[in-house]
Structure formats: C-alpha cells, structure tokens
Amino acid sequence: MNYIVVVIFLILSAITLVSGVMVVTVKNIIHSALWLIASFIGVAALYLLMEAEFLAVVQILVYAGAVSILVLFAIMLTRHVTGEGTRMLYERWWVALVVALVLFGAVITPTIWQQGANWDAAATAAQASITATGEGSPAGTAVASTINIGESFMREYLLPFEIASVLLLMALIGAIAIAFEERTGRRRVLTLAEEYALKQRGIVEPRDAEGAVVPSIEAEQAL
C-alpha cells in the first residue's frame, strides 16, 4: 500500500512540476494559463493524497475554478494571445533565477530545519496511527480537517484572518469605486422608446443615418 502511495505521489508531483514548467515556457498565453490550471489541479490531488480533503476541494474551487478562469477571461480580452515572436529569455535572466531560488529557499529552509530531525519519526508515527485505526485521518494526528482549520482561523490565526478579510474588502471597494467613477462619465444607452420620447420633446434632435438633423413633423407642417 505504501509503495502505491509513493508511486501515486511521484506521478502527481511530476504532473504538477511539468505543468509548472510548461506555464513559463509555453509562448501562447492561453496555453500557459491552461497549464497553470493543470498545475493547480495537481496540487489539489497532492492535498487529497495527504487526506486534506477540504484543502484540496478549496484549491480546486478557488484556484482552478475561479482565479485561473478569471485569468483566462482577462487574457482573452487582450491582444497578441498567441505570443508569436516574443522572447522567452532576456539578458538579466540570471537575476530572476537568483531571486526565484532565494524565495524558494526561504520557503523550504524553515520546513526542513524544523522537521528535518524528526522527519522519519513523524512518518512512522503517522503510519502507526493509520494502521491502528484502520482508516485515514485519525483524531490524534495533525491532519487538516475542516474543523481544525475553522478553529485555528477563529482562535490562533484570528488576527491574520481578519487582516486578510479587510484587505480583500478594500480591494473590492476600490474596484467598485474605480468602476463607478468611470461609469458616471459615460452616457447611458437609451432604449428606443426613450429616444423617441426625447426626440418628440425636442431635447435630442433627431438625426438620420448620415448625422444630419431631420426636421420634426411640426416644423415640416409649419413650412
């Protein structure tokens, strides 16, 4: 059983990594975004393998289902989607490489530093508890169940959670403010009936297809 898990893990990681690499190497931006979705789904599958069902589903719901769809949506509204003729590497690519490596190291080092010593111990403990209860997510081990996540949001990480919420709210209000301001300057498109009424009252001069002013019926009768 354990070997199967390892094999599945390797396959999933390969899929995730390959899609991740494809995201940055493919020239077509749409394809790039689609590879990004594949990568997200691979990560979700890894979560599932770790029995973090809630995280996996949220990963799909938020990242694969919403964020990347919006990314795709935005890309499709731009031009030069195919990306032909764009250069993939610029002169200072090594700077980007260094920055990326440093960031990756910053994430991975503490994890290894903390867990490195008792890595094997943690693995054997988890294995033991699984075999003891006969099924996944035993109560004692720190598998991220929905209840645990909720409780940690409401107790341990309440402040970061609230700060993130306020940040999102700010973004939302800002977006609405910008959109609203832009919209107030724009003329509303009138319905046919409205346009007709306005023309009748002489507020808007009726114009023909070329833009010339058409005299009203009353004016014609007066002539």
Partner 1 sequence: MVETFQQTFGAPLWLAVVLASGLKVTLILVGGSLGMMFLTWYERRAIAYMQDRRGPNRVGPQGSLQPIAEAIKTMTKEDTTPLEADRVVHFLAPVVMLAATVLTFAIIPWGNLFPSDLSVGVLFFVAIGGLHTLGMLMAGWGSNNKFALLGGMRGVAQMVSYEIPQVMAVIPIVLMTGTMSMQRIVESQSGFGGLGWNVFTPVGFFAFALFFVASLAEGERTPFDIPEADSEIVAGYMTEYTGMKFAVFYLANYMTNLAICFITASIFLGGGNGPGVNELGGFLGGFLSLIYFFIKALFLFFIMVLIRATVPRLRVDQLMGFAWKFLLPLVLVNILSSALWVAIIRWDQQAQIFTQWFGAPGTADAPNFVRLGVAVAVTIMINLGALVMVMGLNNRASQARMHTTDEELALGL
Partner 2 sequence: MTLANRQGTGAVVPVERNDQRFRAGQGTAAGLSIVFRKFRKALFGKPNSDRSDTEGQFNVQYPEERLSLPEAYRNMPILLFDDATGHELCTSCFQCERVCPPQVIHITQAKDPATGKPVPSAAEFIIEYDTCMSCGYCAEVCPFDAIKMDHDYELSTSNHPELDVNYNRLLRPVSYYETIAPTLWNDVRESAMKKLQNNIKRRPGAIGVDHGQKVGAKAAPAAVARPADPAGAGASAVVPAAKRAPVAAIGKTMSEEKLAKLQSIRADNQAKRGGAGAPVDSAHAVEAAVGVQPDTAQVAAPDAATPGSVAPGATGPVAAVGTSMSEEKRAKLEAIRAAKRAQGGE
> Contact residues for partner 1 (CB under 8 A)?
1, 4, 28, 30-31, 34, 37, 53-54, 57-58, 60-61, 64-66, 68-70, 72-73, 76, 137, 145-146, 186-188, 190, 194, 197-198, 201, 203-204
Structure tokens at 60: 């799909």
Contact with partner 2 (CB under 8 A): which of 96, 100, 197, 214?
A: 197
| Beta carbon nearer to partner 1, 108 or 197 | 197
Question: Which residues, listed in sequence order, are joined to residue 213 by a DSSP beta bridge?
Answer: 207
Neighbours of 99 (CB within 10 A): 10
Q: Which does 192 bind (CB under 5 to 8 A by kind): partner 1, partner 2, none?
A: partner 2
Neighbours of 84 (CB within 10 A): 8
| Beta carbon nearer to partner 2, 111 or 221 | 221
| Beta carbon nearer to partner 2, 120 or 208 | 208
* Widest distance between CA atoms in the chain: 102
| Beta carbon nearer to partner 2, 192 or 213 | 192
In contact, 51 and 9? CB cutoff 8 Å: no
| Beta carbon nearer to partner 1, 72 or 126 | 72
Q: Which does 196 bind (CB under 5 to 8 A by kind): partner 2, partner 1, none?
A: partner 2
**Residue 200 in the binding site for partner 2 (CB under 8 A):** yes
Q: Which does 80 bind (CB under 5 to 8 A by kind): partner 1, partner 2, none?
A: none
In contact, 34 and 124? CB cutoff 8 Å: no
20 φ, ψ (degrees, to nearest 5)? -60, -40
**Residue 196 in the binding site for partner 2 (CB under 8 A):** yes
What CA–CA distance (Å, rounded) separates 176 from 12? 40
Rounded least distance, CB 196 to partner 2, Å: 4
Q: Which of positions 176-195 make contact with partner 2 (CB under 8 A)? A: 192-194
Residue 131-170 contact track with partner 2, rule CB under 8 A, x = bound:
----------------------------------------
Using DSSP's 3-state secondary structure scheme, residue 138 falls into coil
Chain residues in the site for partner 2 (CB under 8 A): 192-194, 196-197, 200-201
